[in-house]
Amino acid sequence: MKFFLDTANVEEIKRIARLGLVDGVTTNPSLIAKEGRDFKEVIQEICSIVPGPVSAEVISTKAEDMLREAEEIAQWAPNVVIKLPMTEDGLYATHALAAKGIKTNVTLIFSAAQGLMAAKAGATYISPFVGRLDDIGVSGMNLIRELKTIIDNYGFKTEIIVASVRNLAHVEQAAIAGGHIATIPGSLLPSLWKHPLTDIGIEKFLSDWNKMSGK
């Protein structure tokens, strides 16, 4: 499973990239706004740190405007991916960009039908939001299982980015379900490698060692 970082914070990306855990980055307008920096500058900086795909989302809602925006963003860095909303205009833009060899990530996917439409339109990635579905009492992970089956059934090249990840179980269950990628907030990442029994084990080993060496 590939891990993307779901953040636009450059310091966080640099710190976690040192661990060899970052295969790519996803951003959205809310994450960019939180940084209070110029959109292009942030995306270019992230693209220079992480060699993998970096998603940058268009703001336009009309297909022709989306395409204009996408073509400009696509020139910012070779590894930039155009993130588009799951709308009719977004599907049109996805299809047009795929024809030009520009990579896309169709975002705000909440149903299997939406994922199927985006894959058929030629999306490189689709982003189903598991946390936001859980929030309304619908199983986000069930959607991941459905999308994985659909993609495998028809041999789509589209990869699933499990998004809106809120907890450790989301990551574990997404991996079991065969999600290709999980995009994870930096703050959640330590819960993937930490376990209280590991800490207790280290403490016990060191105290036994110190007793033996007379410390």
Whether 83 is catalytic: yes
Contact pattern for ligand E4P over residues 139 through 178, marking x by CB under 6 A: ------------------------xx--------------
3-class secondary-structure state, position 152: helix
- Report the length, in residues, of the chain: 215
How far is residue 89's CA from residue 96's CA, in Å, rounded to a whole number?
11
Residue 60 tokens read as 């336009």
Residue of minimal Cβ distance to ligand E4P: 164
Q: Which of 62, 83, 103, 204 is catalytic?
A: 83
7 binds ligand E4P (CB under 6 A): no
Nearer to ligand E4P by Cβ, of 91 and 182: the residue is 182
Decide: 92 and 73 in contact? Cβ < 8 Å: no
Range list of H helices, 5-73: 10-17, 29-35, 39-49, 63-73
Sign, CA dihedral 112-95-2-156, equals positive
Site size with ligand E4P, rule: CB under 6 A: 11
CB of 170 to ligand E4P, least distance (A): 10
Rounded Cα distance, 181 and 125, in Å? 9
Question: Residue 115 and residue 140: Cα distance in Å, rounded?
Answer: 13
Residues from 54 through 113 that contact ligand E4P (CB under 6 A): 107
Contact pick of 131, 150, 178, 186 for ligand E4P (by CB under 6 A): 131
CA 77 to chain centre: 18
Shortest distance (Å) from residue 107 CB to ligand E4P: 6
Q: Which is nearer to ligand E4P, 50 or 163 (CB)?
A: 163
Residues 8-47 touching ligand E4P, rule: CB under 6 A, are 26, 28
Footprint on this chain of ligand E4P (rule: CB under 6 A): 6, 26, 28, 107, 127, 129, 131-132, 163-164, 183
